[in-house]
Structure 1
Amino acid sequence: MKVRKLVSGVLVVFLFIQVLLLPATDANAAAKPPGLSAESAALIDVTSGRILYSKNGTKKMRIASLTKTMTAIVAIESGKLNDVVTVPQEAVGVEGSSIYLKKGEKLTLEELLYGLMLRSGNDAAVTIATHVGGSLPGFVYMMNEKAAMIGMSHTNFTNPHGLDDSNMHYSTAEDMAKLSAYALRNPVFRQIVSTKVKDISWEGEQWDRRLLNKNKMLHLYEGADGVKTGYTKLAKRCLASSATRDGRQLATITLNASDDWNDSAKLLDYGFANFPLKELVGGKQDVKPDTPVTMERGTHLVTMNAFRYPLQPTEADDVHKRVVLGESVINGKMNGQLVGFLQFYLKEDMIGQVPLLVSADSSVEGRPESGIRGFWRHFWTIAAGGLWSA
């Protein structure tokens, strides 16, 4: 009996020691991304534009009615919301989703945009395109020009609605995430896609059209505020979603996703939980130059604004700064002048920059320059039309 107790005691001590020797769990370890039904997906931080997650994110895919995000933002930026638009014949009876426009019916461009984004009206898409672009080909050209400007390098549009009319109408999850982030920075677009119910005019009828947003995420997910649903027989289920929590907005894209609502919720949860915003510099914060520069006593370099960026805890040590200045001499007369940038890098990639201003103590502010430097600064002020003005 004593031997048995002794053996049991030794075994307990041995197991306790083994537990102590196990490697400690890293609290900063990156969380595993969620499993998704989507063939392709992407998650983006709207403000910074950082892609936080990608699954086959650069694969060219059909995007169905997610196309209408581009249709809407081009129309908002290039048209006038209060324009009265006449429905053309070519918009009547377009297959798929519709808000049942009639030839010659008149609506405002704003009303058509609600019909486009809440009910995914293909007739609204054609009406908007012909009004803003002059013709369908003209508007498609504008769509592709905007795509190039945003940096959607793997995208080509051939129509304003996303119907399966050609293999040449395609995009990628990452490109569409960039588009969502770009569009969501526009307050008009943001207002439209976050609207759950909207009444718009219905010429010739005794009642208005009541538009119920097809995007169930607005009801299913806390903080959801956009963006667009999509489906065709070839593209399958597609979804662009967004949500805002504590002032921070994320957006997701899922393409060919049988469980798109849950996929989007998982991605948003993953982004909010694992990529907190880290303030890398504050506003009006002193910055010491890391390049050779002569600074008059009483002058400082300060940031124009704060800079925050979504980072996993494990990435904090990979961020470094670089001061880039356009001046080799800083004096009090330059008070308030932009003289350079504080740049931030994540490993080798620049993730942002903050303007640097001269801040001068009252004892040196406004002291006139003298000598040859004062002469040349005065010369370039005149020559450059105020580029160097104090």
Structure 2
Amino acid sequence: MNLETWSPKAKFKFNLLPAKNIVAGGLLLALILGSVALGRMANEYLYWKKTESIYTAAIASAPVDYSFLKPFRNWKMGELGGLNAKSAISLVTNSGNPRTIFDKSPDQIMPIASLTKLLTAYISLKNYELDQITAISQRAVETEENIGGFGMGEKFTVERLLHSILIESSNDAARALAEIMGEQRFVSLMNEEAEKIGLKHTHFIDPIGLDPDYPGEGYNYSTANDLAMLVKYILQEADKNPEVAKIFEITRKDEYDITLADERFHHKAVNTNKLLNEFPDTFGAKTGQTPIAGQCLLVIMPQPKNGGHVINIILGSSDRFKDMENIINWINSAFVW
């Protein structure tokens, strides 16, 4: 076959009439659908115009609530400076996530002195009965310092000893509480609790917060951030457990009569926190001080509004009460609550 001279036997013919009908039908369908959509939009517009005043009034009467973002920073107030403390933090707690509103080297690992006794009190309340009686040991009496003037063999309830460690920060009373179950076991529970809470830079070797006697010996250490998390944890449990709430109730007392188990008067415990009168709405507080740790202080204030608390912690200060006063006053001015 010669391909150059080949031609089809039948001629193909394209019929334009059916194609025109298909195009015309498509256009008609698009026109109908567009008219329906346009009519719906027109109806919605007319309805909106009729009800515009109603919706405008509703929006005006129900503005957006931005309170969950508080406290707002008041930038007319400058930054806080001039603190003696080596480390500090102010943490706002409420129903949402905690928020740090001030800090200074909050993750610096520091000795924490008698701030230790906050956890000592917590472990005691979780494991002992308040009316449980214990005798003061010779080892407790020989512990550094003699706050409370405890004597060997004297008997006290757990509740009285808790008042002594949280108000006057007695080392003897702290050791006596730990010795009820055995100090080694007690300190193990402290470290287990710290691990459970997630305190990654905290460790305890005693229930007191003593300085080491010799170079290279261990001591209780933590960070301002870890301690704030510890306080937050105890606050949350205090909301559910009235016995745990006693920790903060006790720290708010100016003074307290310590009596023996037979109710005879032993001595008057006077609070070591000199800011109780300066800030009478203090929710809780704890002092601490040793030559190596310097001056430490925890003060928990209620939020001015919206519930919750402001946890303020100072470590390694040479003037803890002045530092804390400056922090609390600055927070009240530098933020809108």
TM-score (norm 2): 0.68
Q: Is it true that 1:210 corresponds to 2:268 in the alignment?
A: yes
SS of the residue corresponding to residue 96 of structure 1 reads coil
After superposing the two structures, state which structure 1 stretch, 79-88 or 228-237, moved more: 79-88
CA gap of 1:39–1:203, structure 2 versus 1, over 3 A, is same
Correspondent of 1:142 among 186, 189, 192: 189
Partner of 1:38: 85
Paired with 1:229 and 1:192, the residues of 2 have a C-alpha distance of 13
Q: How does 1:244-323 map to 2 (within 5 A)?
A: 244=302, 245-246=304-305, 247-275=307-335
Q: Percent of counterpart pairs with the same letter?
A: 33
Which structure is larger by alpha-carbon Rg, 1 or 2?
2
Query: Higher mean Cα deviation, 187-196 or 117-126?
Result: 187-196
Q: Partner of 1:70: helix, strand, or coil?
A: helix
1:116 aligns with 2:165: yes
Change (3 A) 1:30 1:82: farther
Map of 2:296 onto structure 1:
238
Aligned residues: 250
CA shift at 1:232, angstroms? 0.7
Structure 1 residues 74 and 276, CA, compared in 2 at 3 Å: closer, same or farther? farther
- Give the letter for the 1:223 counterpart: D
Instruction: Go from structure 1 to structure 2 and tell me whether the alpha carbon gap of 1:28 and 1:204 turns closer, same or farther (over 3 Å shift).
Output: closer
For 2:137, the equivalent position in structure 1 comes to: 88
Contact kept, 8 Å, 1:183 with 1:189, in 2: the verdict is no
Residue aligned with 2:111, SS: coil
Q: Which moved more, 1:202-211 or 1:74-83?
A: 202-211
Q: Determine the C-alpha separation between the residues in 2 that align with 1:46 and 1:86.
A: 39
* Larger relative helix fraction: 2
Aligned-partner Cα distance in 2 for 1:46–1:111: 30
Asked if the contact 2:75–2:334 (Cα under 8 Å) also holds between the matched residues in 1, the reply is: no
Structure 2 portions without partners, runs of 5+: 1-71, 239-244
Aligned partners of 1:97 and 1:266: how far apart in 2? 32
Q: Which residue of 1 aligns with 2:231?
A: 180
Q: Deviations over 1:235-266 (max 9, x none)?
A: 11111112224544212111111221122122
> What is the RMSD of the two structures over their aligned residues, measured on CA atoms?
2.4
Within the candidate set 236, 240, 251, 1:193 is matched to 251
Spell out, residue by residue over 1:187-238, the C-alpha distance to the aligned partner (whole angstroms, 9 max, x if none).
1111111111111214699634211111111112242233111111111111
Q: Which residue of 1 aligns with 2:126?
A: 77
Give, in angstroms, the shift of residue 168 of structure 1.
4.3
Aligned to 1:98: 147
In 1, the alpha carbon distance for the partners of 2:280 and 2:168 equals 22
Deviation per CA, 1:335-370: give whole Å up to 9, x if none: xxxxxxxxxxxxxxxxxxxxxxxxxxxxxxxxxxxx
Tell me the alpha carbon deviations over residues 107-165 of structure 1, each in whole angstroms, 9 at most, x when there is no partner.
1101100000111110001011111xx21111111111111122211011000000112
TM-score by length of 1: 0.59
CA apart distance, 1:104: 1.9
**Are 2:220 and 1:220 equivalent residues in the alignment?**
no
Q: Is the 8 A contact 1:31 1:274 kept in 2?
A: yes
Distance 2:109 2:76 in 1: 28
**Pairing of 1:41-80 with structure 2 (within 5 A):** 41-47=88-94, 48-80=97-129
Name the structure 2 match of 1:130.
Answer: 179
Please state how far the C-alpha of 1:106 moved relative to its aligned partner: 1.2
Contact 1:51 1:174 in 2 (8 A): no
* CA spacing shift, 1:74–1:46, aligned 2, 3 Å: farther
More strand by share: 1
Question: Residues of 1 paired with 2:273 and 2:198: CA distance?
Answer: 26
Letter in 1 for 2:174: A
In the alignment, the residues of structure 1 paired with residue 332 and residue 268 of structure 2 have an alpha-carbon distance, to the nearest angstrom, of 34
Which whole-Å CA distance do the structure 1 matches of 2:133 and 2:269 have between them?
19
